[in-house]
Structures are given as C-alpha cells and as structure tokens.
A and B are shown apart, each in its own frame.
Chain A
C-alpha cells in the first residue's frame, strides 16, 4: 500500500481498520541469491537497494531478534557529513544526499529534520582545527560555517560561555545536518525491501556458516539451513562472532556506548549541539525529550548495558555545557554494542572468501551512514565492484598503510 493524503483519509473513514502490515512475516525458502545477516538499518538498506537499484530480487534478511532491536533502535538519531578526511567525507556526503531524498524514495516519513549540527570549540587551537575541517568539507562541496562567539550567543543563549576550563568561543555549523527518526528508518527500509520482494525473517539467528569447495553455500540458523549464492554480513556489534564462523580475522573490538533521554520538555534546543571540550552531544526529539550521549565506556563489552560511572561522566559533561540541564530528569538510558575498528572508520569490502561480503566497523557513527552503507554494500554485492565513494573503506587498508584515522588516535579502538 502506498501512503498518501488520500490513503490516510480513506483509512480514517473506514475506522483505521484496513491498514496492512508494513512487511510480511516471511518464512525462509531453501535458497536465496543473497542472504544478509543482520536486520538492522544497514542490512535492511542493503536489501532495499539490492532489489530496487541493482535488480537482485531473491534476497533474505536474517535478524536474530525483532526488526530494529539492535543499534538502529539504540542511537542518538544524528545525521551529518562533517568529516575531514578524503576517504570519509565523500562517503558521508553521499549518505547525506540520500537522506535528503529518502522520504520520497521510500514513501515513508522518516522525520528527517535538518536542524543543523554545531560543534563547539573552546580554544584557538581547536578553532583552527575546525576551520581546517570546514575547509576540508568545502573541498568536497559540503557547506560549513564558522560561527563566532557573539553570533553563537544569539543563536544558542543557554550555553555556559564563561566556563573556567572550557569557555565556549564559537562553533562549526553544518546546516544541512540534523536528525532522523531512527525506528522509522528501519521500518521504512523494511517496508521498501519487502515491497520489492525481499524476505525479512525475524527471530532467525545464524549459528554457523557452511562452506563447500572454498565458497559459502549457506547458513545454519535457528530456523534450519538456508542456502545462498552470496552471503553478506551486516551484524554490527557481533561482527567478530559471525566472522569467526567463516574463520575471518578482523580488526574489530566490540565496545558499549550509552545514551540517555530525559522527560519531555517544551521546545528549547533547536540544533544538534556537540561539546568539543569532551565528546557530549545533545538534541531534542520531536516528542520533547532531550537525547544525549558521550563517549564509549572504554572496555570491550558484548553486554547491552553500560557502567554507572560513565553515566555520571556523561551528565557532568552535559551540565558543564548547559548548566540548566541539572534540573532535568533522565527517563531512560540504554547501551548499544558496536564494532570499534582499529582506525575508527568503517569497512565495506569483499572477504578472502569469494562470495562472502563484509560490512562492519561503524564505531558509533553507523546511523548517519545507513543509506550510503546500504547503497555501497548493495553495489559491491551486485557488481563485485566497490562503489567509488567507498573505495577507501576496504578491509586491507591497514596492511597497505592507508588507515582512515579521523581522530588521530592510532590502532586503539577505545580512543576513536
């Protein structure tokens, strides 16, 4: 069913009893051309673009839980393309452009809100670094603006400008960046993929990868064996465990990142604000809750829960930036398990096994990448050829000496 003003009126007049489910509850067929492991944003987007753009229709997405139960439902919903390094910036800008056309493309309201992302700076050195980043963005055709302190005070009056250690001197603004409704992104891609014939199989955990004569022939799952021509892994925080089933050795550690949401407030924060003094970021959801997070907890973890001391640290950073936050009550916190790669940048590539494809290492920037990740991964699977904007994201870049180290932290995943 296509959604439109007419469909809303028609369903309203029939008592809203005739809406159809957005995707079928599919049961596995014995064999697919492509099986995608992981029904998160990236896996679903991959399936959607495979079917729609590249004409590969016989596709299954296997999700061990329910759809959207992983990181696509556990993030702070920010979309942006304010990266600096050449290997990253064109990729994330491609993603930003896909975001801008996504609602029309999917016929689904993902509530994209281009409210602007502003990264604050606290010293002359940091200002220079942000000017450099802004210039790097302009070189890839992405608009960036440096906002000076006086102008910023008019835009965002409630910040703590005179903090003793981290006074706020200004910020770097990307106006086209913003937020999108994370669950709607998963649902919209699932509905779109389903409409193009993709089977979305929930509660179906992959337990082993079967290989014959050096190629993958299918996967053992909790719903039995499913054969496939090509196998694509998009398993987010569990990439190492799934990779191990095919003896892949990966440059990945699993880490946990917490996020928080407060009680609903009247509209007060117009932008996404990133605190350069630490790594705190905050925005206001359309329901009114303030959504925020900071850095990862620092130790490897597969538990979808974080440490209380890190929660306290996040609150400290938030209150340092916006003193008024101290009066707001936090309603919920959650934690997601992420692949932290060895340079902080993602991996979209073929593996040493010819028909096994890998999409991993999104660190804590996977949500904004969802459309481009899906598109480029689908391109790779369908054509056996890397999409031009994902050329720098290959698995062998570490061995070749072309790491994309945006944070300049070296091969230490917990520092990216």
Chain B
C-alpha cells in the first residue's frame, strides 16, 4: 500500500508515522440514542472490500487526526483530509 500517506499539513510521509484508529464513516449517536444504535456504533462494521474511510493520526508529525480514503483490496490511497475539515464538511 499505502507505504506513503500525504498529510495535508506535512506532505508525503511514511505510514509508520501514523497510527490508525479505524472506521471514519461511523457517526456517533446522541447520548439518548437507543441501545441498538450504540451497539451498532461501537461494534458493527461495514468492512467493505473496496473504498473505505479511516481515521489516521499523524502521531510522529503534526499530531492531527486525518480521514484517509483508501481501497482495502488494492491498498491505494484516494484522498487524505484533515479530520476537523472532514467533520465540518459532513456536518458533524
């Protein structure tokens, strides 16, 4: 893959500078949401074979959370967005 990630703040960096937090497509339910909604958020994953959104943190760089769009079969990285910008764009 994905041995290189283009951080929007730091440029092209080896992926070992990053840690991966997991699925970024999930939307946190409200505190009063049903048990089922919380179960799905915490435990259930779409796990697609193809494009997926993930949270990566640039721990050995700018320390920002990023949203990486990546193909889970080809390992190709399609886009990298700053986490805060992604949240704003998607109304979170």
Contact = CB atoms under 8 A, between A and B. Distances in A.
A403 to B, nearest CB: 9
B35 interface: yes
A412 interface: yes
Given A307-B2, A411-B42, A298 B20 contact: yes
Contacts of B23: 253
B49 A241 contact: yes
Centre residue among B40, B43, B48, B70 by max chain A CB count within 10 A: B43
A250 B39 CA distance: 11
A141 to B, nearest CB: 32
B47 A254 contact: yes
A411 B43 contact: yes
Grouping DSSP codes into helix (H, G, I), strand (E, B) and loop, the B interface class, with mixed when no group exceeds half, is: mixed
Given A299-B54, A307-B2, A251 B45 contact: yes
Interface in A230-253: 238, 240-241, 249-253
Grouping DSSP codes into helix (H, G, I), strand (E, B) and loop, the A interface class, with mixed when no group exceeds half, is: mixed
A341 to B, nearest CB: 9
A412 B54 CA distance: 13
B24 to A, nearest CB: 12
Interface residues of B, number: 29
Interface residues of A, number: 25
B47 A240 contact: yes
B8 interface: no
Contacts of A254: 47, 49, 72
Contacts of B46: 240
A235 to B, nearest CB: 12
Interface string A251-294: 11110000000000000000000000000000000000000000
A207 interface: no
Given A300-B52, A309-B14, 18 more contacts: A240-B48, A240-B49, A251-B44, A253-B23, A253-B45, A253-B47, A298-B20, A299-B20, A299-B54, A300-B54, A300-B72, A301-B1, A307-B1, A342-B42, A342-B45, A398-B39, A411-B42, A414-B22
A309 B15 contact: yes
